[in-house]
């Protein structure tokens, strides 16, 4: 059995939506640039296709039947969804559009405030950031560059290092005033995220016997964890490349010199085919200059 065999032609649905909303074939015809007889004919064909009367015809006026009111809701949702789908394609039609896939925390904390510099360096570029979190596949996804957080870049694509992931405690200036020694961290709320390397590793490296005795909030999103630290809700273990803007703005400080290298880094990925585009190559070169 053929799929979608009950879906009538789109022009019938557009005519039905207008006629049902305006309660008039003539006003629907005027809105759509058709004749009143054309709309009337379309509606009769639509009713024949569905097998239900959709309108009560009362002189020059029309009213929806119960079936028509039910169908109107469905048709309106479908047409709005199709219109939304068309609008979502707009970035694909823009010249200079460069699709950059990146994790949300990297996009929010590292890339967002650098976008003006990127656009100044590559004026024709129209960046489109994708933070959906989907697994990267250049063969099936329409992305030009990808930023990943990994121990090593994958094989089979072009790659360049952006920044190593280095952790250090960060807090507001007010909260950091009482943090003279690393052991003082055990007396304040610690903010945790779901990275594989965390507080236990940092405290051990700083010579602090924690024995799991710390407390505080947990976040699955490291950007929210840093936002909580900026609000003074505790001390977060922040990646220095991602907090450098907050530190420069004095929204956060890192009170200790001890750092923890996670063995991971942020890498930019692309392919030789994508880099044939002059704007993609320009963005790629700009990322290479940020180290």
The pLDDT tens digits of the residues spanning 155-210 come to 889 999 999 999 999 999 999 998 999 999 999 999 999 888 899 999 999 999 87
96 band by pLDDT with thresholds 50, 70 and 90: confident
The pLDDT of residue 261 is above 90: yes
Distances (CA, A) of 224 to 154, 195, 236: 28, 13, 10
Averaged pLDDT score across all residues of the chain: 92
Question: Cα(174)–Cα(184) distance, rounded to whole angstroms?
Answer: 14
Domains of the chain: 10-88 (1.10.10.10), 91-291 (3.40.190.290)
Predicted pLDDT of residue 94: 63
Predicted pLDDT of residue 49: 93
Predicted pLDDT of residue 9: 92
Average pLDDT for 18-41 = 94
The pLDDT of residue 6 is above 60: yes
The pLDDT of residue 213 is above 70: no
* pLDDT, tens digit, 9 for 90 and up, residues 133-157: 888 888 888 889 999 999 999 988 9
Question: Cα(104)–Cα(225) distance, rounded to whole angstroms?
Answer: 13
Average pLDDT for 61-83 = 94
Cα of 94 vs its chain's centroid, Å:
19
Closest residue by Cα to residue 159 from 151, 147, 142, 143: 147
85 band by pLDDT with thresholds 50, 70 and 90: confident
215 band by pLDDT with thresholds 50, 70 and 90: confident
The pLDDT of residue 237 is above 70: yes
**Of residues 211 and 79, which shows the higher confidence score?**
79
Question: Cα(182)–Cα(93) distance, rounded to whole angstroms?
Answer: 53
Predicted pLDDT of residue 274: 93
Would the pTM of this model clear 0.75, i.e. be above it? no
Question: Cα(137)–Cα(78) distance, rounded to whole angstroms?
Answer: 30
**Of residues 142 and 49, which shows the higher confidence score?**
49
Question: Cα(168)–Cα(252) distance, rounded to whole angstroms?
Answer: 11
91 band by pLDDT with thresholds 50, 70 and 90: low
Cα of 288 vs its chain's centroid, Å:
24
Average pLDDT for 93-99 = 77
- If phi > 0 it is left, if psi is from -120 to 50 it is alpha, else beta; for residue 129 that is beta
């Amino acid at each position: 059995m053929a799929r979608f065999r009950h879906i009538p032609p789109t022009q019938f649905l557009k005519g039905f939506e207008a006629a049902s909303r305006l309660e008039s074939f003539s006003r629907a015809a005027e809105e759509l640039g058709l004749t009143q007889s054309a709309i009337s004919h379309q509606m009769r064909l639509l009713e024949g296709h569905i097998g239900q009367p959709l309108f009560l015809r009362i002189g020059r006026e029309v009213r929806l039947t119960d079936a028509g009111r039910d169908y109107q809701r469905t048709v309106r949702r479908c047409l709005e969804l199709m219109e939304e789908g068309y609008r979502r394609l707009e970035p694909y039609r823009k010249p200079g559009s460069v699709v950059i896939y990146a994790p949300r925390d990297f996009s929010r904390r590292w890339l967002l405030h650098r976008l003006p510099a990127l656009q100044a360096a590559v004026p024709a570029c129209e960046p489109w950031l994708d933070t959906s979190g989907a697994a990267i596949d250049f063969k099936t996804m329409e992305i030009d560059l990808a930023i990943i957080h990994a121990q090593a870049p994958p094989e089979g694509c072009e790659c360049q290092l952006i920044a190593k992931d280095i952790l250090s405690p960060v807090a507001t200036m007010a909260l950091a005033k009482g943090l003279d020694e690393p052991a003082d961290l055990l007396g304040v709320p610690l903010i945790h995220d779901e990275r594989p390397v965390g507080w236990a590793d940092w405290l051990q490296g700083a010579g602090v016997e924690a024995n799991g005795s710390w407390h505080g909030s947990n976040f699955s999103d490291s950007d929210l964890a840093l936002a909580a630290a900026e609000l003074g809700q505790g001390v977060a273990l922040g990646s220095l490349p991602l907090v450098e803007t907050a530190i420069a703005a004095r929204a956060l400080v890192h009170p200790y010199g001890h750092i923890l290298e996670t063995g991971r880094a942020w890498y930019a990925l692309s392919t030789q085919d994508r880099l044939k585009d002059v704007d993609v190559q320009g963005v790629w070169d700009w990322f290479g200059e940020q180290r």
